[in-house]
Structure 1
Amino acid sequence: MENENLQTLNEIELQIEALKERANQIRATELASVISDVNQKIAAYALRPGDLKFKSDAIRIESNKVGKKAEVKYRDSEGQTWSGRGLKPRWLTAAIEGGKVVEDFLV
């Protein structure tokens, strides 16, 4: 039942990779032309970014909590603090290893 016309999986994967590479080359060539055309039209019509109504690449999070620091929940005798968020700070880890418990540092 062997068919000499059937390609192996490896041969097909090699063809796919070659086609992807060729597609990327064609895209790069066409892209340069498209960008040039768009830039010429932008200049000809004196367009500004706001005229094109593109959304910003940067995602902005608008919240009343942005920039607000978390309240301090733990403090040691030297004034070092931790809000309880994220990893435990070194000073707290060392104190726990020394026999203290987290509750000893509650504010």
Structure 2
Amino acid sequence: MKTDLDALTLKELKTLQSQVAKKIEGYEERKKREALTALEEQAKTLGYSLTELVGASAARKRKPAQPKYANPANKSETWTGRGRKPRWVEAALKSGKTMEDLAI
């Protein structure tokens, strides 16, 4: 199947792009399911469940960290203390405040 892409309109190209992206995503999901099924069958033949081998923690998602600091000027702006410091934290520190002053 050969398509003359030069003959398509922009709308047709965007529609084609969307369809291709959906097909790729479906293909990847199908391959992941097949791999997972194969791994589960292999674990079963060895007398284990896949969860026993990889641990239950691998299947759980971490819950978001709780905020530890809040902007004194706007309490809706918070920071967990992880990652890069927000601009309001940097500004507060430059103005002489301490991290303890910003703690919730």
- Report if TM-score (shorter chain) is over 0.5: no
Q: Please identify the structure whose Cα radius of gyration is greater.
A: 1
- The structure that is helix-richer by fraction is 2
TM class, shorter-length: 0.3 to 0.5
Normalised to the residue count of structure 1, the TM-score between the two structures is: 0.41
